[in-house]
Each structure stands twice: as C-alpha cells, then as structure tokens.
Amino acid sequence: MYERTKVSFQSSGTPCAGYLYLPAGGSGRLPCVVLCHGFSGTMDRLYGYAERFATEGIAALVFDYRSFGESGGEPRQLASIEGQHDDLRAAVAFARGHERVDPGQIALWGNSLGGAHVVSVAADDPAIVAVVSQIPYNGFPKRVEGRSTGQTLRVLAAILWDTIRGKLGLRPYYIPMVGRPGELAVTTTHEADEHISTLTGEGGQTLWRNSVAPRAFIPMMRYRPAEDAARLTQPLLVCIAAADRETPGETTRALANSAPRGEIREYPGTHFSFYTDPGIRDQVAADQITFLRRHLPSAAPAA
C-alpha cells in the first residue's frame, strides 16, 4: 500500500506540479526515486511505476516539466533541454527537503528524453546514489524506418518554420507527436491510434496532448547524453526495447557503454511497449527494483 500527496515546487519562478508517493505507515526517512517523463509526456504515464516503487518501500516523486501537463509555463508543449534539467534539479531539491525523505538516498529514473536527462543531471550531482534510464534518447537515429525522404523534408521544414517563429516571438507552429504513416508528425506508425489511446488514457482523462513545438529539435540535435554518461560516477541501469525505432538499440547501448558503471537490460517490444504491455512493464519494474535495492541500502518492502 502507499499514500499519495499532490505537491508543488518552483523551477526558475514557475510552479511545477507533482505527486509524492510514500509507503503506507511508518514515520522514518525513506530512500526516494525522482521520476521524469519523456519528450511530450506527462507524469500520469508514470503513476504505475511510482505506485510499484512505493509498494516496495521506496518513496517516489513524479512531476510535469514546465509547459507540460499540470505545471505552469508558456508557451505550452515546448521542450527545453536546459529548462527540463533545471526542473529535474528543482524536483531533487524538493525531495531532499521533504521530512519523509532521506536526502542521502536519492535515485533518478527517466523515460525516453527523460532517460537522457537523468544521466546528464546526475553527472553533475555526485550526491545522487543511482540512475535508471529507460529507453533513453541518445541522439536521433540516422534513418527512421518507414519514413520517406519527402516526409523527412516536411518535418525539417516544420522545425525550421517553428524556429523562425520562435526568433520572432510568435506562437509555436505545432505538429502532432504521433501520427499515421504519411502524416506530418514526429513519430509515424501504423499503431498510431493505439499509441494515442495509451498516452491519453481511458476516456482521454489526461493532460497529455498530441501536439509539440518542433523548434525543440534544434537543441536536441546537439544533445549528447553519452558524453555526460562518461562522467557518471554512479551505477546506471539502462533498459532498452529490442524493436525500438525512436531510441534504437545502437544508440542506447552506446549511452550505457559510455558509463563506467553502466548495466544493460533488454526487453522485447517497441518504444511504446513499456506503456502498453503489462507483462513487459512488470518485468522492467521488477528488474529496476532489484537494481535500486542494491544501491539504496534502506529500501525494504513496505509492510
């Protein structure tokens, strides 16, 4: 069992919303995992992982980056690498200051783009005890399967146009995050409807939006989390999907292999299977808990 409390903290003067999950009962300080979502995600997709960690005796903090989900910030749906790093640092500071959290036992957990952020932030914070990076971003794939040259040029044109609008102080030119083959979208797949349904939740009860500002891809092209992984002193667990098109195995393995204390676990399925397949999700969570128990000494199953 666990207890969940809605929380808020400031990042560069803007409120970030989150939820703190605590194992039920008890009054002592606990190890804590701070979880961060991916490029267009929202924290509600991470509730299942947070619940699992709390049930296993590890406090868990989930939150939305600024401009996404329940957090403040404008313009909406615009990812900033540096800004999201700041948001994660603010979340860590909040956790360290909480009366139920042991500030010396903080671990980071990230999914997709968040999987890169946890590596980069931990590399500059040696007080972080351990890092879990799930299907992490480590640069764009050289070729996207199923996307023609013409479709690639359409995406690049959207990025350029939105970047120009940003320089002029104009509202973003939004494009869908997920679309069907042939549509203008960040990710195109025949399973688009299934993925959108998964991300929006039952009855669309989520703050996730199938819309992003593509100007964010310019700084992402220069983002090299593997270089930060080489500076990482903490143990790192990288969980990858065998059929991942968005963060393919060769890039995620390169990130893990760059870390002096990196470990790799591979699972069947695609980038979205960690959300859609209960069997894979349960196995991934079990392996992550085993890893965290090795490095968070006070982590123990909740009564």
Chain segment 259-275, per-residue pLDDT in tens = 999 999 999 998 888 88
**Weakly modelled stretches of the chain, pLDDT under 70:** 143-147, 195, 198, 201-205, 298-303
The CATH-assigned architecture of domain 2-140+223-295 is 3-Layer(aba) Sandwich (3.40)
The residue ranges of every structural domain in the chain are: 2-140+223-295
CA 215, chain centre distance (Å) = 19
Three-class secondary structure of residue 128 per DSSP: coil
In angstroms, the CA 18 to CA 208 distance is 15
Residue 37 to residues 3, 23, 96, 197, 200, Cα–Cα distance (Å): 21, 22, 20, 17, 14
| Omega prior to 297 cis, within 30 of 0 | no
In angstroms, the CA 260 to CA 144 distance is 30
Identify the pLDDT of residue 42: 94
120 contacts: CB under 8 Å, gap ≥ 6: 85, 225, 228
Average pLDDT, the chain: 92
Task: Return the structure tokens found at 140.
Answer: 């764009």
In angstroms, the CA 254 to CA 111 distance is 17
In angstroms, the CA 47 to CA 93 distance is 21
181 - beta bridge partners? Answer: none
Q: What is the pTM of this model?
A: 0.93
In angstroms, the CA 11 to CA 65 distance is 9
Strands 178-179 and 59-63: unpaired
Identify the pLDDT of residue 205: 57
CA 260, chain centre distance (Å) = 22
In angstroms, the CA 279 to CA 287 distance is 12
Identify the pLDDT of residue 223: 96
Strands 187-188 and 178-179: parallel
CB atoms near residue 82 (< 10 Å): 9
CA 294, chain centre distance (Å) = 22
Three-class secondary structure of residue 216 per DSSP: helix
Q: b or e along 197-228 (b: 16 or more beta carbons within 10 Å of the residue's beta carbon)?
A: ebbbeeeeebebbbebbbbbbeebeebebbeb
Q: Assign residue 77 a region: left if phi > 0, alpha if psi is -120 to 50, beta otherwise?
A: left
Chain segment 149-208, per-residue pLDDT in tens = 888 899 999 999 999 999 999 999 999 998 888 889 988 877 777 767 767 765 445 788
